[in-house]
Amino acid sequence: MGNVKYDGKYYGVPMTMNIVGMFCNMELLAKAGYNEVPATYDELIDCCDKLVAQGIIPFGCSGKETWCVTEYLESIIEKTAGATALNQIFAGTASWNNPDVAKAVGIFQEMIEKKYFDPEGIALTNDEVKANFMAGKYAFYMNGTWNCADFDKAGLTSKVKVAEFPVIDSSKSQLGELIGGPSDTLAVAAGSKNAKVAAESAFELAKGICHYGYLDGCGLPAWTPDYDTSSVNALTQSVADICANASQYVLFGDTAMAADTAQIYLDYVSKIYSSTISGQEFVDGLTKDIK
Amino acid sequence: MGFPERTAFFKGNGYMKKLYSNKLTTFLFLLPALILFIGILVAPIFMSGYYSLFDWKGYGPKTFIGLDNYKELFTSENIGFMKAFGNACLLAVLSVLLQLPLALFLALLLGSGRKGERGFLSIYFMPVLISTVVIGQLWLKIYNPSYGVLNVALRALGLDNLTRLWLGDEKTALWAAFVPTLWQYVGYHMLLLYAGIKSVPPEYREAAMIDGANESQVNRFIVLPYIKPILRISTIFAVTGSFKSFDLIYVLTNGGPNHSTEVPSTLMISMLFLRNRYGMGSAIAFVLILLCFAAALIINFIFKEREGKPKCKTETE
């Protein structure tokens, strides 16, 4: 709720929440000898190597929509530098000039160099990449958990599992540190004619949207459910289980930052995905350009 | 023969003459159009100029910063205006050197009365009628790295080494985005020029033919000088259209990858609606307007210079 909290007071009510999930095609993972989602980073790398050796593309990521790249990059930074460090960077209370960030970006680029990512992804939209994953082209797809409903409707629940990205540096991060959180909120302008009534309405409206959004599998409950949730699809329920063990959330970088800063950040992320700059140049550039 | 008849009309109709001589009446008749012209065209230009002097998010308080937005626009690598302007200039050059000659060639071909003239005219003009978004989607499919017809055809011809991520590679994205942009408006310029070619009096052609001129000589010495005013308009439309180009680039690449296909208009939208920099977006809009005006004036000047040395006599001469 940090993104709606200012000076100790809350200024918005969440309608829904989502996290970044690592969706795994278990049929493809089985071909690499994995019947479960790789639990550690070393296992993930081993799994990717085996997938590549068999001609299977491990990850699909749209380069045309840079926010999709952040789903990967932020997860890797978080699991390398830790959620607290990333939250401070996004909030502007810590500098981008952090060696762990440079190291994480290097890890991401190494994954690209090792052909873990579909090279065509850079020219594709997220919808195209998602369609490829659903068609069985990629073993993994990291994206928002709002996709659960689509995967469920496409009948993929039996072969797709969702997990969080494994920890890379256990001295700084741990499982349960997630990218996401309640980002969509309703707020009422202080100058509204009937601010109190409007705020109460916004409160009820947000709860209602959250309620039905969760039941439809389009998001996670930002409010504690006090209703029957047995009809929620299995993938969304898996995500709810992950969230139940969450220790810390880091809001999506381009949502947490101001609009102008977010675009500068996305520009650098795009350069990372196309390997135009190195991890250190990413850190140096953001330190210079984001004041 | 219009002028003498009109004089006769005025002589025989004192009321209309009085009406035309009344300045207030003329002004009142022109007023609605004038209000629209000022409100829709002139005022927004001045408003853009005004907002460009502020640091403003588009809401909340504004801070007057003078010409700082312009200084940043032309010097900041982060914004990348010079790159976007360079891309627009390249598109303008390609429009003049490729699009217009192709349009002229087709117009001359169809204007000389070939079989199926009307049908070909409709076919070439069709891309102009289709929504740009639809054309963008069509070309997105053509360029798709997996199933796009371009890569599929190259693979079928055994030219796998020539297949590319056409819109995803910085080296090819700009050219790949320009091809449909140029292709779409060939028909538009062709139609303008075709109309001009069709207005060449047949007796001019016949006289030249009797004097022994062949078709290419007729085109060169009769038709081209005759349609020079239309060529000038086409050139102005092509150049200013290139500076203002937006829709197809937006659909195909949205300025990416890594701003390699950015043009001033996509940059302006990014500043206004993604980065909440309304002042900077207004500065780009204002510079764009000035560039278009300057381009129109320069093209007019160049054509007037050349019109000073006519190669054939026209009707007005």
Query: What amino acid occupies position B183?
Result: W
Residues of chain A with Cβ-Cβ distance to B152 below 8 Å are: none
ipTM of the complex: 0.85
Cα-to-chain-centroid distance, residue A127: 16
Residues of chain A with Cβ-Cβ distance to B270 below 8 Å are: 263
- Average pLDDT on A174-195 reads 91
- Cα end-to-end span (Å), chain B: 17
B225 within domain boundaries = yes
Q: Helix, strand, or coil here: B205?
A: helix
DSSP state of B115: T
Q: In sequence order, which residues have a C-beta less than 8 Å from that of residue B157 and are 6 or more positions away?
A: none
Which residue did the predictor score with more confidence, A3 or B133? B133
* Residue B11 banded pLDDT, cuts 50, 70, 90: low
Peptide bond into B32 cis (omega under 30): no
What is the structure's pLDDT at B9?
A: 54
* Residue B315 banded pLDDT, cuts 50, 70, 90: very low
Q: Helix, strand, or coil here: A143?
A: strand
B3 within domain boundaries = no
* Residue B5 banded pLDDT, cuts 50, 70, 90: low
- Average pLDDT on A173-199 reads 91
* Residue B309 banded pLDDT, cuts 50, 70, 90: low
What is the structure's pLDDT at B112?
A: 82
pLDDT in tens, A15-40: 989 999 999 999 999 999 999 999 99
How far is it, in rounded angstroms, from Cα A68 to Cα A83?
Answer: 19
* Residue B308 banded pLDDT, cuts 50, 70, 90: low
CB-based contact A119 B257, cutoff 8 Å: no
What is the structure's pLDDT at A190?
A: 84
What is the structure's pLDDT at B7?
A: 55
Residue B267: give its domain's CATH number: 1.10.3720.10
Single out the residue of B237, B231, B235 nearest to residue B108, CA to CA: B231
Q: What is the dihedral of CA B236, B237, B239, B244, to 10 degrees?
A: 130
| Domains, chain A | 2-281 (3.40.190.10)
User: Is A2's pLDDT higher than 80?
Assistant: no
What is the structure's pLDDT at B12?
A: 54
pLDDT in tens, B291-301: 999 999 999 99
How high does pLDDT run on average in chain B? 90
The phi and psi torsions of B270 (rounded to 5 degrees) equal: -60, -45
Residues of chain B with Cβ-Cβ distance to A259 below 8 Å are: 57, 274-276
CB-based contact A63 B257, cutoff 8 Å: yes
B168 within domain boundaries = yes
Q: Strand pairing partners for A161?
A: A24
Interface-testing mutation among A67, A118, A138, A260, with chain B (most B C-beta atoms within 10 A): A260
Give me the helix-helix angle, B186-198 and B100-111, nearest 10°.
Answer: 40
Which one of A122, A124, A260 has the shortest CB-CB distance to B276?
A: A260
* Residue B24 banded pLDDT, cuts 50, 70, 90: confident
A176: left (phi over 0), alpha (psi -120 to 50) or beta: left
pLDDT in tens, B43-97: 999 999 999 999 999 989 999 999 999 999 999 988 999 999 999 999 999 999 9
Q: What is the 3-state secondary structure (H, E, C) of A205-262?
A: HHHHHHHHHHHCCCCECCCCCCCCCCCCCHHHHHHHHHHHCCCEEECCHHHHCCHHHH
| Sign of the torsion formed by the C-alpha atoms of B230, B231, B233 and B237 | positive
What is the structure's pLDDT at B284?
A: 97
- Beta strand A57-59 with A138-144 is parallel
What is the structure's pLDDT at A266?
A: 96
CB-based contact A122 B165, cutoff 8 Å: yes
Please check whether residue B91 is in contact with residue B178, taking contact to mean a CB–CB distance below 8 angstroms: yes
What is the structure's pLDDT at B205?
A: 87
B242 to chain A nearest CA, in Å? 23
How far is it, in rounded angstroms, from Cα A271 to Cα A268?
Answer: 5
B150 within domain boundaries = yes
Among A16-20, A69-73, A234-238, B303-307, which range has the highest average pLDDT?
A69-73
What is the structure's pLDDT at A38?
A: 97
Q: Helix, strand, or coil here: A17?
A: strand
pLDDT in tens, B145-180: 989 999 999 999 999 999 999 999 999 999 999 999
* Chain A contacts in chain B segment 161-190 (CB below 8 A): 165-170
- Average pLDDT on B5-27 reads 69
What is the structure's pLDDT at B313?
A: 47
Name the domain count of chain B. Answer: 1
B117 within domain boundaries = yes
pLDDT in tens, A247-286: 999 999 999 999 999 999 999 999 999 999 999 999 999 9
How far is it, in rounded angstroms, from Cα A215 to Cα A212?
Answer: 5
* Residue B317 banded pLDDT, cuts 50, 70, 90: very low
Question: Strands, DSSP E only, in chain B?
Answer: 54-55, 63-64
B76 within domain boundaries = no
pTM for the whole thing? Answer: 0.87
Over pLDDT 90: what percentage of chain A? 82
What is the structure's pLDDT at B316?
A: 43
CB-based contact A271 B258, cutoff 8 Å: yes
* Residue B307 banded pLDDT, cuts 50, 70, 90: low
Residues of chain A with Cβ-Cβ distance to B78 below 8 Å are: 264, 267, 289
How far is it, in rounded angstroms, from Cα B262 to Cα B31?
Answer: 40
- Average pLDDT on A125-153 reads 95
How far is it, in rounded angstroms, from Cα A4 to Cα B278?
Answer: 25
How far is it, in rounded angstroms, from Cα B206 to Cα A102?
Answer: 77
Which one of B166, B257, B270 has the shortest CB-CB distance to A274?
A: B257
Question: What range defines the domain where residue B160 resides?
Answer: 81-307
The CA-CA-CA angle for residues A44, A100, A76, to 5°, reads 30
B85 within domain boundaries = yes
User: Is B8's pLDDT higher than 70?
Assistant: no
